[in-house]
Amino acid sequence: MQRHWYQQFWPWFLIVLPLCAVAASLYTFYLASSGADSMVVDDYYKKGRAYNKDLSELKRAAELKMLAKLSYQDDQVSITLVGGHKAGEAIKVNFTHPTLEKEDHRLIMTTDGSGVYRQRLDSQLIKGNWNLQIEAMDGNWRIQKRISLPINDQLLIRAES
- Same domain, yes or no: 89 and 128: yes
Q: Are residues 76 and 133 in the same domain?
A: yes
- Residue 24 confidence (pLDDT): 97
Q: What is the pLDDT of residue 47?
A: 64
- Pair (28, 72) in one structural domain: no
For the stretch 103-126, pLDDT in tens is 899 999 998 888 899 999 888 888
88 and 154 co-located in one domain: yes
Instruction: Determine, yes or no, domain membership for 88.
Output: yes
What is the pTM (predicted TM-score) of this model?
Answer: 0.66
104, 134 in Cβ contact below 8 A?
Answer: no
For 50, counting Cβ atoms within 10 Å of its Cβ (0-12 exposed, 13-18 middle, 19+ buried), the class is exposed
Structure confidence by residue, pLDDT tens digits, 4-16: 988 999 999 999 9
Following CA atoms 144, 113, 149, 128 in sequence, which dihedral angle do they give, to the nearest 10 degrees? -60
Through-space distance between the first and last CA atoms of the chain, rounded to whole angstroms:
89
Most confident range (mean pLDDT) of 21-30, 68-77, 86-95, 120-129 is 21-30
Please tell me the total count of domains within the chain: 2
| Measured distance CA(23)–CA(5) in Å, rounded | 24
Residue 14 maps to a domain: yes
Shared domain check, 96 and 23 = no
Q: In this predicted structure, which of 19-23, 51-55, 153-157 has the lowest mean pLDDT?
A: 51-55
Looking up residue 68, the CATH number of its domain turns out to be 2.60.40.10
pLDDT at 53 over 90: no
Residue 83 in domain: yes
Residue 2 pLDDT > 80: yes
Between residues 100 and 54, the one the model is more confident about: 100
pLDDT at 16: 95
Distance CA 75, CA 54 (A): 29
27 and 61 share one domain: no
pLDDT of residue 143: 92
Q: Is the pLDDT of residue 51 over 60?
A: no
Answer yes or no: do 64 and 137 share one domain.
Answer: yes
Which structural domain, as residue segments, surrounds residue 21? 8-32
pLDDT at 36: 66
Q: Are residues 153 and 77 in the same domain?
A: yes
pLDDT band at residue 20 under the 50/70/90 scheme: very high
